[in-house]
Amino acid sequence: MQRSAQGLLFAQGLLLALGLFAWPAAALAERYEIVAGSGTEVVFKSRAPMENFEGKTGQVQGWLEADLAALGQKVEMEVSVDLASFDTGKGKRNRHMRENHFETEKYPRAVFRGGTVSAVSTPKLPVGGEATLTLTGQLDLHGVAREMSCEVTLKRPAEGELLVEARFEVLLPDHQIERPKFLVMKLAEDQKVIAKLVLKQGVPNK
């Protein structure tokens, strides 16, 4: 009986110790919210034989959660973009893309959710520091969700602030989007996308 009691006390002590060691690691993850405007912008670049153009929007929502002392262990994010707000510089082209390609009444937003981290340049991101990594997640666009990897640069200009820049390509057929055609020119099927995000802690994500 005495040995059983001692064994039980030992097991309880071990579980308590493991819990104490695990608690700080879980508490290190920090959440940052995207701040619309103020430098937040998503840009897509389209190429055609006779003309290249860009579409831009600052209507972006989302968050990033990371352990800045162990970037390889935890970086998760969600970025949601209002597709109807993209501006290409021409009203007729904007309407054509909203109605005939993005079909924004049916699919109003594109959403990236990630992810799995690989190829981290540095495990820690101190104030004033910079890190690059590859983040793999899922892009939900035009009602079709596909796995996607993007190159991400993280900067930490001040305590409680992050700057994120992500670059990737989107293949229109992968998301069942008809390749846009304006007059007699047809655009390339791959669209280059650059997302520049400003994030802060303690900011409501509206």
Query: Would you kindly state where each structural domain of the chain is located, as residue ranges?
Result: 29-200
Q: Are 112 and 148 within 8 A, CB to CB?
A: yes
The encoded tokens of residue 44 equal: 């897509």
**Distance of CA 184 to CAs 48, 140, 177, 188, Å?**
10, 30, 19, 13
CATH of domain 29-200: 2.40.128.110
DSSP 3: H
Q: Are 83 and 102 within 8 A, CB to CB?
A: yes
Strand, helix or coil at 12?
helix
Residue 107 forms beta bridges with which residues?
none
pLDDT tens per residue across all 206 residues of the chain: 445 555 544 555 544 444 444 444 444 789 999 998 789 999 999 876 666 888 999 999 999 999 999 998 888 999 999 999 999 898 988 998 898 889 999 999 999 998 899 889 999 999 999 999 999 999 999 999 999 999 999 999 999 999 999 999 998 889 988 876 654 456 677 889 999 999 999 765 55
